[in-house]
Amino acid sequence: MRLSICIATYKRADVIGETIAAILPQLHEGVELVVVDGASPDATAAVVGSLIADRSDCRYVRLAEKGGVDRDYCIAVEQARGDYCWLMTDDDLLKPGAVGRVLQALGDDPDLLVINAEVAGPDLATTLLPRKLRISADRQLEPAQQSALLALAGDLLSFIGSVVIRRAVWLARDAAPYIGTEFVHVGMIFQAPLERAARVLAEPLVRIRYGRASWSARAFEVWMFTWPGLIWGLPGFGDDVREAVTPREPWKRAPRLANMRAQGCYGLGEYRRWLKPLAMSPLTRLVVVAVAALPDIVFRAAMRILLLLRPYERSMMMFELRRSRTAGR
């Protein structure tokens, strides 16, 4: 078995059917689908079962209890039979020909493929970002270029569907420090140097259903604390490389905090919970309180002005403004 497409899912009956339907026509000899369900209380089991019944190249594993996305992906890799595991999401779509392109890129047995993606709205009808990683040609990075890999692809790798990893590499590494971060794959890739090359594919092979992430309601926590904590905790990287992915304390950057405010992800509630207990200078305290307390319309207006300077990201930024929890005011 060459490739296992591994999906960890929980309570996604409304979207996982479309995800699997896009995968099934691309399965052929040497490729399988493994779905691990963290005890979904909805109709996920029925939806998956109706699509993969009587298929020997598909397996559905229902766990006895919910254990979290990191643990479930680890179980999916353990259950897989392929030399490589594509850690696919449960609500996004593989583009036509994606599996064939991946198999071609695995021809010389790299340790890792990083798959580019395009970003669409929740109904997948509108493209918000043509490609998350703006490169026009594939890149190959040798084991000695681990820092260059993190600097180049770190932001894209926050999306687990971008990861195709040699199963033996995953199984040889320690997942325990990263369980509960929701980014276990990043820890598994970067906790030690790879033994073989990593390849970053320029062509987007996944269409992301933006705005449906399971942690969307916790965006402030994830992007201000969880993600930076993981990146800055990785061993063996210089501060400049980590900074290329995320600041150590993004909440100290007024533009980032203002962006969170404009999107409705930061306010006085988040300040009291996450920032008030922290030690900071009087000036920083003044800034973070002011951003939380000022009317959100101020920051939404500023973000609209910024759209003029960032045309590539305009569609995504407009979508974020429209879906803000304060957008109706």
pLDDT reading at 244 higher than 50: yes
Give the whole-angstrom CA distance, residue 34 versus residue 57: 9
* pTM metric for this prediction: 0.92
Span 142-146, mean pLDDT? 97
**27-36, 171-180, 205-214: least confident range:** 205-214
Give the whole-angstrom CA distance, residue 320 versus residue 136: 26
| pLDDT confidence tier of residue 327, bands split at 50, 70 and 90 | very low
Backbone φ and ψ of 23, nearest 5°? -85, -40
pLDDT reading at 326 higher than 60: no
Which one, of 231, 232, 225, lies nearest residue 265 by Cα?
225
H/E element, 76: helix 69-79
Give the whole-angstrom CA distance, residue 100 versus residue 98: 5
Residue keyed to tokens 């040609």: 137
Question: Which pLDDT tens digit goes with each residue over 98-134?
Answer: 999 999 999 999 999 999 999 998 888 889 999 999 9
pLDDT reading at 148 higher than 60: yes
Span 143-172, mean pLDDT? 97
| pLDDT confidence tier of residue 316, bands split at 50, 70 and 90 | low
Percent of the chain with pLDDT over 90: 80
pLDDT reading at 311 higher than 80: no
Question: What's the confidence (pLDDT) of residue 324?
Answer: 58
pLDDT reading at 38 higher than 60: yes
Question: What's the confidence (pLDDT) of residue 54?
Answer: 85
Percent of the chain with pLDDT over 70: 93
Question: What's the confidence (pLDDT) of residue 216?
Answer: 57
For residues 12 and 45, is the Cβ–Cβ distance under 8 A?
no
DSSP labels, 12-58: -TTTHHHHHHHHGGG--TTEEEEEEE---SSSHHHHHHHHHTT-TTE
Structural tokens at position 70: 């990191």
**51-55, 58-62, 246-250, 272-276: least confident range:** 51-55
Question: Which pLDDT tens digit goes with each residue over 66-103?
Answer: 999 999 999 999 999 999 999 999 999 999 999 999 99
Q: What's the mean pLDDT when you consider all of the chain?
A: 92
Going from the N-terminus, what domains does the chain have, and what CATH number goes with each?
3-209 (3.90.550.10), 249-323 (no CATH)
For residues 37 and 67, is the Cβ–Cβ distance under 8 A?
no
Sign for the CA dihedral angle at 105, 111, 117, 123 comes to: positive
| pLDDT confidence tier of residue 214, bands split at 50, 70 and 90 | low
